[in-house]
Amino acid sequence: MTRTALILVAAGKGARARTTIPKQYEKIGDETLLSLTIKNITKAHDFSEIRVVVSKEDSWIDTVLEAHKLTGVTTTGGASRTESVHNGLKSLANRGIDRVFIHDAARPFVSKQIMADLNAALDVVEGAAPALPIADALKNLDGSPVDRDKLRRVQTPQAFHYEAICGAFSTYAQNRSYADDIAVAHAAGMKLSFTEGDPDNFKVTYPEDFAKAARMIDESYIATGSGFDVHQFDMESVGPLWLCGIPIECGYSLLGHSDADAGLHALTDAILGAMCFGDIGDHFPPTDPQWKGAASDKFLLFAMETLKDRKGSLQHVDITLICEKPKIKPYRDAMRAKISDLCCLPLSRVSVKATTTEKLGFTGRGEGLAAQATATVRFNG
């Protein structure tokens, strides 16, 4: 079986990123850049050995490696990237390594395809690196053209037969600094090739690159929930009739264990549905006496608090009230304002509408009313 090793170069300070700590320990989302790189590259390939090359002043690495259950994998870097890589190669001596992949800690988005292509290339050459063509026109400083078709943007990981690259570094990299490892291999006359690079496999170098990386790992998503509720009119009651949090003095009310606010009940169910968290009856059963006559805004506020706990935020609500009576239009603005307040939503994101069933069914006969609602929710991973 082919034994492969990963050398992860993480000894630099990343001055161009203008961070207060080495850039590989800056957070992207909930994890450090280095942690994200380790997670993704070890998903892309199963390595027999791993070495993380760090500076001797590094005080952050242990916390990162503990999270990945990696121990005893660090080695100390040198004054240059070339010296750091050489130290990493020497730390793998006598470990039976056949192939080694040398990767920048600041490239967090290595794909399985990149790794597969590099492995395939090593079946026929001694070294390989992913590379991308250049789309922009190139000029020398004097304005003369450069043939971009003869140039490539080279990425990492760069992959080599272990013994060959060790020999190249021992012979050609003593007291010299190279831009990358392919340059050392080229100086040694090794047989090399380029594989297809990936634009997502970019190097986090400047401050704006952190925002780009954060967008790429954004695990937020949008969910839509729907709710529906029906209540019968209580014509023997003098009211008020509660609807969308607003009391309507119409000489009758709605029958229900709570205040029977069908609009808020439907909206509560819509939010619970977006969370896949059951329905209003699961959390506030009508058999429980504590909810007898309760204001339905309590149910809605429960749904909103649960949504917050689940890292969700309400984006938009739409309620349709289905009834022949009472007339909704005189109260619609107040209903929207009330829901806006309860849900902490801008008024522009709250819709309340009304319709009839053209005298058909129980609503058409004036026996009760129905409400349906949709809630659009964003979850942040």
- Over 80: is that where the pLDDT of 218 sits? no
pLDDT of residue 339: 98
- The 3-state secondary structure of the chain reads CCCEEEEEECCCCCHHHCCCCCHHHCEECCEEHHHHHHHHHHHHCCCCEEEEEECCCCCCHHHHHHHCCCCCCEEECCCCHHHHHHHHHHCCCCCCCCEEEEEECCCCCCCHHHHHHHHHHCCCCCEEEEEECCCCCEECCCCCEECHHHCCEECCCEEEEHHHHHHHHHHHCCCCCCCCHHHHHHHCCCCEEEEECCCCCCCCCCHHHHHHHHHHCCCCEEEEEEEEEEEEEECCCCCCEEECCEEECCCCEECCCCCCCHHHHHHHHHHHHHCCCCCHHHHCCCCCHHHCCCCCHHHHHHHHHHHHHCCEEEEEEEEEEECCCCCCHHHHHHHHHHHHHHHCCCHHHEEEEEECCCCCHHHHCCCEEEEEEEEEEEECC
Per-residue pLDDT, averaged over 305-330, amounts to 96
Report pLDDT for 373.
Answer: 98
**pLDDT tens digits, 88-137:** 999 999 999 999 999 999 999 999 999 999 999 999 999 999 999 999 99
Going from N- to C-terminal start, the domains of the chain cover: 4-216, 221-379
At 381, the pLDDT band (50, 70, 90 cuts) reads low
User: Does residue 16 carry a pLDDT above 70?
Assistant: yes
For the chain, what percent of residues have pLDDT higher than 90?
Answer: 90
| pLDDT, tens digit, 9 for 90 and up, residues 363-377 | 999 999 999 999 999
4-216: CATH superfamily = Spore Coat Polysaccharide Biosynthesis Protein SpsA; Chain A (3.90.550.10)
**Does residue 13 surpass a pLDDT of 80?**
no
- The predicted structure's pLDDT at residue 21: 82
pLDDT of residue 353: 98
| Domain 221-379 top-level CATH class | alpha beta
Average pLDDT over the chain, rounded to whole? 95
Q: So what's the pLDDT on residue 166?
A: 98
Please state the rounded mean pLDDT for residues 173-191. 96
Q: Has residue 14 got a pLDDT over 80?
A: no
Residue 225 confidence (pLDDT): 98
Reported as a single tens digit per residue, the pLDDT across 56-92 is 989 899 999 999 999 889 999 999 999 999 999 999 9
